[in-house]
Structure 1
Amino acid sequence: MAINFVNPFTPVVGKVPLHMAGREGVITDVEAALAGTGNDPAIISLLVGPRGIGKTALLSYFADIAESSGWVTARVTCVKGMLDDILIRAQRSAQHLVNTQPSRKIKGAGIANLVSLEQEDSPHKLVNWRSKMDDILSSLADCNIGLLVTIDEVNPSIEEMVTLVAAFQHFLDEGKKVALIMAGLPYGVTSLLSGKSTSFLRRAARYELQALSDYEVEEALVRTMKDGGKTFEPDALEAAVKAIKGFPFILQLVGYRVWRMAESSSVIDISSVDAAANIARKELEQRMYDAVWFELSEADKSFLQAMTEDSEITRQADLPSRLNKPSGHVSKYKKRMLQQGVIRERSRGLLEFCLPGFKEYFDERIAEERGAA
């Protein structure tokens, strides 16, 4: 008789997995900062890495940890209107503890199971975003509760980032119990740090999230499968680890499909892994790479095609001759590809594709275009 299992893998962007593979260093630092006195550098943290490396899931993980430790959280994405969103999220997250209106002044507070606030109307009070946040933070301080703000997809072109960073610098200077964790692509974070108005962030703890080791991938796969009563045959586990390429999102995607392929069995064989990995690869292309492809201009494609002539690392100095273009043209399109998170600069002038399997995907799409022409 078939045994029914619940699929334990979570191939959904931002969903916290059952077992967080790797990342012990950053997790230890941030948890210590949330439990500390506010002087820990990780109280302001930057998570940096390419798509699929697990930045969003880590943000969710830290917000969950903070909430379980009694913090109030505001989870937002870096888009226009972000500041209003932070304010609304913070108010809603704290509403079971405090009842605060940004346009009112708090006169006193009494703390029981809930917090009741006596307020005085002040309709002509001049307020801005920072002062509204001050009201919330003051109310939370009465209960010794902190506020964690998480910001995903950092975008330095969003002007509200300047207001946010400046306000958080003052919050910390004033001894308020706050934390700020942001995540973004390497180019976006670097651009943010280079701005004069956001230089405060240069003192933040910065974590460059790299691909997981094979051991970390293997451990997460085995533990997650074991939780549901499944195990891998040795060659099947080896094939699954190879297919994942160290990327947390692909780990969840492959794991999910492997589970589905072997749903009625407690032992996973290599045929299930091979079939599942093929499905997962196509899903990755449809859910992520197709969107990247359709955003590429013809000049973008020419730039990337010139990079595919190298097996791994491309020297920027080699591209002008390959493209028959001046160095300024190469710099322009290098910047575009860095911004879109398609490539990364391993060190000055050394470029590489940063999305696992995208180089092969790109070659296939280029071949299809040529065949259709």
Structure 2
Amino acid sequence: MYISRADEEESILKTFMSVIPLSHIYVIIGAIGMGKTTLMTSVTTKIKEDKSWIHINIDSEEPILQTMNYQLNNIAATSLSPKDPSVPLPTLPINSDSNDGDIRYALDQLLLLIKNNGKKLIITIDDISNSSSIRTFTEYYLHCINEDLPLYVLMTGTYKNYRALYNNRTLSFLKRAPKITLVPLSEIRIAREFEKILNLPEDDAIKLAKLTGGYTYAFQILGHLIFGSGEKVFSDEIYKDFKTELFDNAYEKIWRELSVKEREVLKMISMYKDGGAVSILKQQLNMDSNNFSTYRDILQKSGLIYMSSYGKAKTSLPLFSEYIDIFCR
């Protein structure tokens, strides 16, 4: 089941496909399970409809520059025409021990070839982290922009990983890069999708939509479980399976990536069903305003809490407080 994020897609496509693009890089930020990869895939599918684009997807754990060089050489051998066929392209195998300068030079030549063929290259990297491979690639991207090479980058990541990356002195430009922070899907649209695809009564579809809280992964697994049951009924067994999938595949990973202090703040917030007043939370956590604000902002920008109109902090994800109460105390 899928609900498009048309506005976000359009924003990225307009940026990349303008005659004079405002940026060659875009970052999609969101909590685990918020639909970052799905949005990235949808955008690149539309971009590839234009045959002037070449697309390469690279795993963030791979040696990115070497992998990029390897894939581009394969593409160049079958799809690109060199200005001078007698001059071979510089090729470095993916496991090469060649130094960084050699790899960059080879990539420069390949990108010039792409440019001379009237094409552009978009690299997609899912789930970025503050790794040496990502940092090296991002520095190379900046070099490409300075040299007017046709390299575009679409990355996804959590707020904390993105922040850790742009806090590197040489990569501070990333903080100014265009970005989209994914927010929960509309519960109205989710209810409509449940009603249409699962053939549920309107009242039932609305109840299930509210259960998801707009969380993309919750919407997907709940729809999958009900559809797969063949009964189109929300049973106690499906509810148990829903929680198991949610807790095991999303919340466990989210919790594992939090710092000790972030966990402490979340534990305290989760104790208040209707949200915890900031003044009370600070007192119970023994934190001053500056200290509490730091962790509140990180958790809020990570999509894990939100501040209500009454100034109370509440967990954002469906059943997240229950997960914390059962497994994290």
TM-score by length of 1: 0.70
Q: CA deviation at 1:28?
A: 0.8
Return closer, same or farther for 1:34/1:329 CA change in 2, 3 Å cut-off: closer
Which secondary structure does the structure 2 equivalent of 1:322 belong to? helix
Which secondary structure does the structure 2 equivalent of 1:51 belong to? coil
Residues 89, 110 of structure 2: 8 Å contact kept: no
Cα distance in 1 between the residues matched to 2:190 and 2:118: 39
Cα distance in 1 between the residues matched to 2:299 and 2:145: 32
Cα distance in 1 between the residues matched to 2:234 and 2:101: 60
The residue number in structure 2 matching 1:47 is: 28
Residue 256 of structure 2 is aligned to residue 289 of structure 1: no
Q: CA deviation at 1:295?
A: 6.8
Cα distance in 1 between the residues matched to 2:128 and 2:235: 36
Return closer, same or farther for 1:298/1:49 CA change in 2, 3 Å cut-off: closer
Return closer, same or farther for 1:329/1:174 CA change in 2, 3 Å cut-off: closer
Residue 217 of structure 2 is aligned to residue 249 of structure 1: yes
Return closer, same or farther for 1:171/1:255 CA change in 2, 3 Å cut-off: same
Residues 74, 93 of structure 1: 8 Å contact kept: no
Cα deviation 1:211-256 (Å, max 9, x = unaligned): 0111222344455x2xxxx522223322331222212222211111
The residue number in structure 1 matching 2:131 is: 158
Name the aligned partner's letter for residue 32 of structure 1.
Answer: K
- Give the unaligned 5+ runs of structure 1: 1-8, 10-18, 100-105, 110-116
Q: CA deviation at 1:73?
A: 1.7
Map 1:1-373 onto structure 2 (within 5 A): 9=1, 19=2, 21-37=3-19, 39-41=20-22, 43-70=24-51, 71-79=53-61, 81-92=63-74, 95-98=77-80, 108-109=84-85, 118-119=87-88, 127-155=101-129, 157-222=130-195, 225=197, 231-262=199-230, 268=232, 271-272=233-234, 275-292=237-254, 302-311=264-273, 313-314=275-276, 318-319=280-281, 321-324=283-286, 334=295, 338=299, 343-344=304-305, 352-365=314-327
The range that moved more, 316-325 or 144-153, is: 316-325
Return closer, same or farther for 1:234/1:190 CA change in 2, 3 Å cut-off: same
Which secondary structure does the structure 2 equivalent of 1:140 belong to? helix
Q: Give the fraction of aligned pairs with identical amino acids, expressed as a percent.
A: 20
Q: CA deviation at 1:315?
A: 5.9
Return closer, same or farther for 1:91/1:220 CA change in 2, 3 Å cut-off: farther
Residues 240, 277 of structure 1: 8 Å contact kept: no
Which secondary structure does the structure 1 equivalent of 2:61 belong to? coil
Residues 149, 179 of structure 1: 8 Å contact kept: yes
Coordinate RMSD, CA, aligned:
3.9
Residues 153, 184 of structure 1: 8 Å contact kept: yes
Cα distance in 2 between the residues matched to 1:365 and 1:122: 51
The residue number in structure 2 matching 1:4 is: none
Q: CA deviation at 1:357?
A: 1.7
Name the aligned partner's letter for residue 66 of structure 1.
Answer: I
The residue number in structure 2 matching 1:103 is: none
